[in-house]
Amino acid sequence: MSQKLLFYFLFLICYATYGQIGGKHTYEFLNLITSPRQAALGGKVITIYDEDVNQALFNPASINQDMDRRLSLNYGNYYQEVTYGTASFAYTYDQHFQTIQAGINYINYGKFDGYDENGLPTNSFTGSEIALSLGYAYNIPYTDIHLGANAKLIESTLETYNSFGAALDLGMLYIDEKNDINWAVTLKNIGTQFTTYDGTREPLPFEMIAGVSQELEHVPIRWHFTLENLQQWNVAFSNPVRSQTSIDGSVTEEKVSFFNNALRHMIFGAEFFPKKAFNLRLGYNFRRAEELRIEEQRNFSGLSVGFGLKLNKLKFNYSYSKYTLAGNTSLFGLIINFGEDF
């Protein structure tokens, strides 16, 4: 009965909300995929539970002692002068207190030329945002359930406007060791602005994510399946480029089906040789693929690939993600082990 009630509750949450997910929130940089491993798997994978200290930024329940004294550094060039990245470090204080994790997430929007209302040049300006986080996870005694929380302080500067806020990520991870299946749920960016840009308080990009992954028994593959934006059912929109104009001039907008909208919540990923020194990764993000699809031209939007290479106490990660014909993204990451073994 409890499982049915939970299902109906989640369904009502999704059904009661409507509209699209973009352009409605502040601090949108919090949802950027900054880990090459994550990007290669399609993004928002919350079921990884190993020594990858980057995972703490996506699901705090994944923080564990295998991350002890590991430092991750990630960097990416989004478009033009926009750069972003993260740093994450975990430390195990003792066996009782377990492990804490600290992270930094930043984005720099580059330099802009300023103009007044008459089109005359003024001073140039920049924009940047940063979030500092601290995370901790707790394994419920005598169970395979892990709970975690990640507290974030956020500062944003856009031209002469500034904002300061805070957010909280909550995560749950269930590890079925017998079948090697992980189940997870996260609630991300629960928070508020303490100071606003111009007196108008804006909501943060809250998101609910669920996921499952499994490492196959006789094949060196771990697959990942993620459901994103569960707090909102309708994440589709009618693309005006795909509308049809009849002979009489009337316009028929694109119709997004129930099935098409459902697919936009799904992300698939697979990691080959997950426990070896060299890993290959592949992912597909349905929402990105559909939103950036070009009519009558195949550009493989939504597809991502990558690899990981471990050399002694260093692990190098790389990902390449397809967005549009005009621009794609590459992410580079390094994990350094300051402990005794890797």
pLDDT(273) > 70: yes
At 119 the pLDDT is: 85
pLDDT(79) > 80: no
What percent of the chain lies above the pLDDT cut of 90?
65
pLDDT(244) > 70: no
Residue that wins the pLDDT comparison between 245 and 80: 80
pLDDT (mean) for 276-299? 86
Position 341 confidence tier, pLDDT thresholds 50, 70, 90: low
Read off the DSSP letter of residue 242: G
Contact predicate 86/57, CB 8 Å: yes
- pLDDT tens across 88-118, in order? 999 998 766 689 999 999 999 988 888 888 8
Position 246 confidence tier, pLDDT thresholds 50, 70, 90: low
pLDDT(25) > 50: yes
Read off the DSSP letter of residue 121: B
Q: How many CB atoms lie within 10 A of CB 325?
A: 12
Cα–Cα distances in angstroms (integers) from residue 300 to residues 255, 286, 304, in the given order: 22, 11, 9
Position 8 confidence tier, pLDDT thresholds 50, 70, 90: very low
At 323 the pLDDT is: 84
Contact predicate 164/193, CB 8 Å: yes
- CATH numeric code, 2-337: 2.40.160.40
Position 15 confidence tier, pLDDT thresholds 50, 70, 90: very low
* Share in percent of the chain as helix, strand, coil (round to 5): 15, 45, 40
At 98 the pLDDT is: 81
pLDDT (mean) for 238-256? 64
pLDDT (mean) for 169-178? 96
Window from 71-75, 128-132, 187-191, 248-252 with minimum mean pLDDT: 248-252
Window from 71-75, 93-97, 195-199, 261-265 with minimum mean pLDDT: 93-97
CA distance 285 to 291: 10
At 118 the pLDDT is: 84
Residue that wins the pLDDT comparison between 143 and 78: 143
Q: Where are the domains of the chain?
A: 2-337
Residue that wins the pLDDT comparison between 242 and 157: 157
Would you give the end-to-end CA distance of the chain in angstroms? 45
pLDDT(23) > 60: yes
Question: Tokens representing 101?
Answer: 């994790």
H or E stretch covering 37? helix 36-40
Window from 48-52, 75-79, 204-208 with minimum mean pLDDT: 75-79
